[in-house]
Chains A and B, each alone.
Chain A
Amino acid sequence: EDQVTQSPEALRLQEGESSSLNCSYTVSGLRGLFWYRQDPGKGPEFLFTLYSAGEEKEKERLKATLTKKESFLHITAPKPEDSATYLCAVQARGPRNTPLVFGKGTRLSVIA
């Protein structure tokens, strides 16, 4: 059974204090690992897709990395507007679009 575990559940940072969020996964053949951002009262919004170990993607203050067992979302010099819940999801390989399996998310608060 495909599983995704995110840690920590919640993280509180001072503005400018860099840190990392973890996503550990088990999947029967990885098609892709996805990071989403979710603001309160809204649907998840796509950030990154990673496909193979060693791959990295960057967007502004965020950088996502991938190994064979986990992914990290590094946040460099965060700002209060980075406060949100960050979701990780995996998709297994298959002949069709197999459902994404989500972790429970990490709730990030950045304090000015």
Chain B
Amino acid sequence: NAGVTQTPKFQVLKTGQSMTLQCAQDMNHEYMSWYRQDPGMGLRLIHYSVGAGITDQGEVPNGYNVSRSTTEDFPLRLLSAAPSQTSVYFCASSGLLGSNYGYTFGSGTRLTVV
């Protein structure tokens, strides 16, 4: 099925551990982004990319790294997990010049850091 695929769906980490959240899209979208969603805070942008090899920071980038080696994939790396990174993470994609649909979202990764 065409769309944005996120893995894993659920993850529990211990403080200080590292991990990578995977995001893949098969719509040939140039633009990809990561948001986190917390109760009462809404969706906040972490990092985004306008194409392979190009990334930029969003509103809350600290503690996260990204890279974009292919059009299809945009992984999000947590270098040393902290309890404050407990959240639901969404990956989203769009055509480079925008889309009448805004973004297409994945189904999310629910991360708990203990």
A: residues with CB less than 8 A from B are 31-32, 34, 36, 41-46, 49, 87, 89, 91, 96-97, 99-105
Contacts and interface: CB of A to CB of B under 8 A. Distances in A.
B103 interface: yes
Contacts of B101: 46, 49
A96 B96 contact: yes
Contact of B97 (A43, A87, A89, A96): A96
Given A32-B102, A91-B102, A104-B40, A43 B90 contact: yes
Contacts, number: 62
B25 interface: no
B94 interface: yes
A32 B41 CA distance: 22
B106 interface: yes
B107 A43 contact: yes
Contact of B98 (A43, A91, A102, A104): A91
B95 A97 contact: yes
Interface stretch (B14-22, B42-50, B72-80): B42-50
Interface in B79-107: 90, 92, 94-98, 100-107
Contacts of B35: 102
Nearest to B42: A104
